Amino acid sequence: MKKKPYPTPHINAAPEDFAKTVLMPGDPLRAKFIAENYLTDAKLVNNVRGVHGYTGTYEGVRVSVMGSGMGMPSIGIYSYELFNFFGVENIVRVGSAGGLREDVKVDSVVAAIGACTESSFVSNFNLPGTFAPTADFGLLSSCVEAGKELGIDVKVGTVLSSDVFYKDEDYEIGSGLSNVERWAKMGVLAEEMEAAALYINAARAGKKALCVCTVSDNLITGESLSSKERETSFDDMIRLVLKTAVSIEKRE
């Protein structure tokens, strides 16, 4: 008899423990917060390495939420296992990002239609060219419609998924073109660290993914949200993605 591919070294659960749609904040404690404050009858289904995963209901629809950790290697592991071993169909990243343009104000909500990256993550797939990691259009359109319903302005565009948080720039902004300014000139809205890997894994598995982020600081203007403002702004984003999850499940 063929051995079941679960539990894995990272997720101690069975496929039936997860809903078809999983929300993935980077911080496992934010997953706990979402489960305890937004979901009904939330049940802990995973806690390997302190990565909290819960399944409950929102507006009568079954939804899961689990931390992804920080960076592409981390979300690469968890999204791969959820898509390929646990029967998950949709993953929506719920994160924070740094704005790369002056018109992307702090507390803006950005939905990533595509994810640029300087990462070598996709090289693992041995493609004979350049791959463009993109969101699922159905998830993206559901998110935009949910934003209209909730009165939340969703900025749709590309993001930069970076491997590096602390960067050694060659020169400061304003004294030439920094890397941040180069990406901004190409219309990139914000920088984060996970979307590209999530989109690549979704494409390979034939599944669906979307990245939605709150802009917590602006890398051009230096603006940043206070801890209280982050709490309020993240609440808008959480309600948005939960409404999106409900729309997805009802559609399917």
Q: Which residue blocks in 174-224 are alpha helix, DSSP H?
A: 179-185, 195-205
Write out 56-106 in H/E/C secondary structure: EEECCEEEEEECCCCCHHHHHHHHHHHHHHCCCCEEEEEEEEEECCCCCCC
Annotated active-site residue in 41, 217, 235, 236: 217
Dihedral, CA atoms, 23, 45, 3, 9, nearest 10 degrees?
A: 80
Judge contact between 211 and 192, C-beta under 8 A: yes
Q: Which residues are within 8 A (CB) of 176 and not within 5 positions of it... i.e. 6 or more apart?
A: 170
| Rounded distance between C-alpha atoms, residue 34 and residue 87, angstroms | 22
- Tell me how crowded residue 7 is: count the other CB atoms within 10 A of its CB: 16
Active-site residue flag, 41:
no
Closest CA to 10 of 28, 37, 34: 28
Place of tokens 């704005």: 99
Q: Which residues are catalytic?
A: 217
